[in-house]
Chains A and B, each alone.
Chain A
Amino acid sequence: MSLHLGRRQFLGGMVTLVGVGVMGAFSLNQAQAKTVPSDVIPFLGPHQAGITTPDVASALVVALDVTARSTEELQKLFQILTQRIEFLTAGGTWPPLEPKYPPTGSGIFGPEFPADYLTVTVGVGASLFDDRYGLVAQKPIHLKQMPNFPNDRLDPHLCHGDLLLQFCSNHNETNIHALRDILKQLAGLVVLRWQISGFQQPDADPHPHRTTVRNLMGFKDGTANLDPQDKNLMNHLVWVQRNSGEPAWAVGGTYQVVRVIRMFVEFWDRTALEEQEEIFGRSRDSGAPLGYKHEEDIPNYSQDPQGNIIALDAHIRLANPRTSATEANRILRKGFHYSRGVDKAGQLDMGLLFMAFQQDLERGFETVQNRLNGEPLEEYIKPIGGGYFFALPGVPTKNSYLGQPLLMALVRS
């Protein structure tokens, strides 16, 4: 099924009828006809699902540390992970078991569980490439531990990790169901490090290829995002290519940045609208760049060199200066809201679960973030967690597994 869907349709969970003959001839008496849910995101492919896949309502990001005792156990970990993701993302039925044994699955959907657009995307952190498994020489060239940017206040309990699992689906329960199964199957091989869940609203006004949700500050976020359906663009900016200086196993993968960005929403809600709009560079209601009419309008900064209309340090202007020189810095973004209770000051702890994918960390996220350092928005936001990961290349065929090229490279070296 084509994923070339409007976001709203996609979130709606369509059901495609696959019958014998044409749809018009379909009747209830045709026993051969059956309904096939269209909510399965194919697992196999050159790239992992969950990166250019259309957005869904719910995300769960889980960082793990690997406790495998040997390279063989690490291989076992990736094989189990592959097998579980394939099983879980397809939807299906739990095998029955004897009542004296613990049940096979958590049962939160009962004996049958839906696919629900589930994707599980696996990334590896720089810490996996130490001397434990002999992976030092295989590290992707730009992969490192996420540094502290000037405005960051990183909580060590919400940062980094050997492995990252990004669960995306339309319901929190689907993500939790998958997580619990994977953790059970990987007992002994991994330990939990941190996790955070995110959510987002379907856009009321869907674009043909992407979403623009409002962030928890009330502003449209992601208007200028890359079109994930544009394969050339993805090859140009997101997927690691051959002869790029990266280890051969990494081709088809991509660098994933995760940032947990706290927003001081009480303070923000007490800030004048004018100031809010100046900080972002967009009109709050329409999402249009200041001085323009429509959200999709592309601001022409050459006509506003002094920043009289859109301030020079407005968020959108720093993030994407729209020059030919900065085209290469663009990144594929994925944003969810998070909300996790109350801080010590008695204020709401909520904000943005930001993720970005790019071919090159330095050319992508780091360049953009360095441009943003010191922006006025910083008074209202505080990055508190996340990490740098390398999302593995996809699993092209049935009998291969995630991370196989990496482990095979190890055998050859």
Chain B
Amino acid sequence: MTRKTKLWLGVGTYVLTGITPVLQLPLDAALSPAMAQSAPVVVDPCRKGLGGEGSRGGSEGGEGGEGGTSASQPATLNPAIQPQELQQAVDQYKAYVLAETNRLLTDSQVFTERVMAGDLAGAQAMYAPSRLGWERIEPIAESFAEFDRSIDARVDDFKGEDDPEFTGFHRIEMGLFKYNTTKGYEGFAQKLMTDLEGLKTCIVALEIDPRDMVRGTSELIEEVAQGKITGEEERYSRTDFWAFQANVEGSQKIVEILRPLIQRVNPTILGEIDQDFAAVNQVLAKYALPGGGFKSYDQLTPQDKQRLQADLARLAENLAKLRGVIGV
């Protein structure tokens, strides 16, 4: 059943039961009137699923929130690595994810306020920076299918530009950069903030599985190699380099956290991964602006695009071995 979310209602109302938020959705008007009188449908907004690769088979905690029971330790862990070392790495990553989530909310607050205030230039300038937090933790953020769809889906996933289900960053991006207006996008800005708050609630309650953390390094690079490289992601604003770099940073962060462990088990692959990251960053640096931020993605030369394709492929091949190296 497809649900039509009515914009002025936002996503719905959060009812906190314990710590897991429960989302109450207004019923689609297309349903029978009799049904519409009944109790609202309750959907778990933290539902994992189609949005992204997500956290397959990971423990989906929430009861304990943060600092609860430690994540399940794989029996296959490389003997050179102590289980508590892996747990420390996961804790470090969780802290990073939370910090980036907070940054996402803070920056998006500024961004959406500017949209609602009708400040077009201000909103345009804040669009790409506000997304960085999301892009850095994309495998985690997009693992919540509902929020991935409402926050970060592109027009291609919907019936068209006017589809009311098309919401989130890219809907607003279309208004700001394609139609050069904030008018009519205030509701989308408001809903984006509501959704981001909901997402944060899910992330706070999430217990990260070490396997998902390690896979995250690959997922972020696959994301770039499959999608970002084409320039389809930020098609109206051409701010793809921002998202591109944030994905790479998010991947590199996980490698940094795991560095001592990888170094101990397989220093050769670590050296190769470092070289690969350096190669990708070298190309990105060519497009960085002195005052921060990046040139328009249109500036990317065919040679550099090819260079990036090659380096990302090599990096992806190497990162794909990390699960085996660590044994998760």
A contacts, CB < 8 Å to B? 65, 67, 98, 100-102, 184, 187-191
Q: Report the separation of the CA atoms of residues A189 and B276 in the bound assembly, to the nearest whole angstrom.
A: 12
Contact (A188, B314) CB under 8 Å given A67-B307, A101-B321 = yes
A188:B321 contact, CB within 8 angstroms: no
The answer to whether the Cβ of B76 comes within 8 Å of any Cβ in the partner chain is: yes
The answer to whether the Cβ of B103 comes within 8 Å of any Cβ in the partner chain is: no
Q: Which residues of B contact A191 (CB under 8 A)?
A: 306, 309-310, 313
Q: Report the separation of the CA atoms of residues A187 and B276 in the bound assembly, to the nearest whole angstrom.
A: 11
The answer to whether the Cβ of B196 comes within 8 Å of any Cβ in the partner chain is: no
Measured CB to CB, the nearest residue on chain B to A100 is B324
Kindly identify, within residues 35 to 84 of chain B, every residue whose CB is under 8 Å from any CB belonging to chain A. Answer: 76
Q: Report the separation of the CA atoms of residues A190 and B321 in the bound assembly, to the nearest whole angstrom.
A: 20
B314:A187 contact, CB within 8 angstroms: yes
A100:B310 contact, CB within 8 angstroms: no
B323:A100 contact, CB within 8 angstroms: yes
B contacts, CB < 8 Å to A? 76, 276, 306-307, 309-311, 313-314, 316-317, 320-321, 323-324, 327-328
Q: Which 3 A-B pairs have the closest CB atoms?
A: A188-B314, A101-B324, A67-B310
A187:B320 contact, CB within 8 angstroms: no
CB distance from A49 to the nearest CB of B (A): 28
A188:B310 contact, CB within 8 angstroms: yes
**Chain B binding surface, main DSSP class:** helix
Q: Report the separation of the CA atoms of residues A111 and B282 in the bound assembly, to the nearest whole angstrom.
A: 40
CB distance from A194 to the nearest CB of B (A): 13
Q: Which of A67, A98, A184 contacts B324 (CB 8 A)?
A: A98
Q: Report the separation of the CA atoms of residues A122 and B61 in the bound assembly, to the nearest whole angstrom.
A: 53
B316:A187 contact, CB within 8 angstroms: yes
Q: Report the separation of the CA atoms of residues A1 and B256 in the bound assembly, to the nearest whole angstrom.
A: 56
Q: Which residues of B contact A189 (CB under 8 A)?
A: 310
Q: Which residues of B contact A187 (CB under 8 A)?
A: 310, 313-314, 316-317
A188:B311 contact, CB within 8 angstroms: yes
Measured CB to CB, the nearest residue on chain B to A67 is B310
Q: Which residues of A contact B311 (CB under 8 A)?
A: 188
Measured CB to CB, the nearest residue on chain A to B309 is A191
CB distance from B88 to the nearest CB of A (A): 21
Q: What would 10 more interface pairs be, CB under 8 Å, given A188-B276, A190-B310?
A: A65-B306, A100-B328, A101-B323, A101-B324, A102-B320, A102-B321, A102-B324, A187-B314, A189-B310, A191-B313
B313:A188 contact, CB within 8 angstroms: yes
A102, A187, A189, A190: residue with the most chain B Cβ atoms closer than 10 Å? A187
Q: Report the separation of the CA atoms of residues A190 and B314 in the bound assembly, to the nearest whole angstrom.
A: 10
Q: Report the separation of the CA atoms of residues A187 and B319 in the bound assembly, to the nearest whole angstrom.
A: 13
Measured CB to CB, the nearest residue on chain B to A102 is B320
Q: Report the separation of the CA atoms of residues A401 and B309 in the bound assembly, to the nearest whole angstrom.
A: 26
CB distance from A69 to the nearest CB of B (A): 9
Measured CB to CB, the nearest residue on chain A to B78 is A100
Q: Which residues of A contact B327 (CB under 8 A)?
A: 100
Q: Report the separation of the CA atoms of residues A67 and B313 in the bound assembly, to the nearest whole angstrom.
A: 11
Q: Report the separation of the CA atoms of residues A186 and B306 in the bound assembly, to the nearest whole angstrom.
A: 14
Q: Which residues of B contact A102 (CB under 8 A)?
A: 320-321, 324
B316:A67 contact, CB within 8 angstroms: no
Q: Which residues of B contact A100 (CB under 8 A)?
A: 76, 323-324, 327-328
Measured CB to CB, the nearest residue on chain A to B275 is A188
Q: Which residues of A contact B317 (CB under 8 A)?
A: 184, 187-188
CB distance from B215 to the nearest CB of A (A): 11
Q: Which residues of A contact B307 (CB under 8 A)?
A: 67
Q: Report the separation of the CA atoms of residues A189 and B306 in the bound assembly, to the nearest whole angstrom.
A: 11
Q: Which residues of A contact B321 (CB under 8 A)?
A: 101-102
Q: Report the separation of the CA atoms of residues A189 and B317 in the bound assembly, to the nearest whole angstrom.
A: 12
Q: Which residues of B contact A65 (CB under 8 A)?
A: 306
Q: Report the separation of the CA atoms of residues A184 and B316 in the bound assembly, to the nearest whole angstrom.
A: 10
Q: Report the separation of the CA atoms of residues A190 and B311 in the bound assembly, to the nearest whole angstrom.
A: 10
Q: Report the separation of the CA atoms of residues A100 and B323 in the bound assembly, to the nearest whole angstrom.
A: 6
Q: Report the separation of the CA atoms of residues A128 and B320 in the bound assembly, to the nearest whole angstrom.
A: 30
Q: Report the separation of the CA atoms of residues A75 and B120 in the bound assembly, to the nearest whole angstrom.
A: 54
CB distance from A287 to the nearest CB of B (A): 45
Q: Report the separation of the CA atoms of residues A65 and B307 in the bound assembly, to the nearest whole angstrom.
A: 10
Q: Which residues of A contact B314 (CB under 8 A)?
A: 187-188
Measured CB to CB, the nearest residue on chain B to A68 is B310
Between A and B, 23 residue pairs with Cβ closer than 8 Å are A65-B306, A67-B306, A67-B310, A100-B323, A100-B324, A101-B320, A101-B321, A102-B321, A102-B324, A184-B317, A187-B310, A187-B313, A187-B314, A187-B317, A188-B310, A188-B311, A188-B314, A188-B317, A189-B310, A190-B310, A191-B306, A191-B309, A191-B313
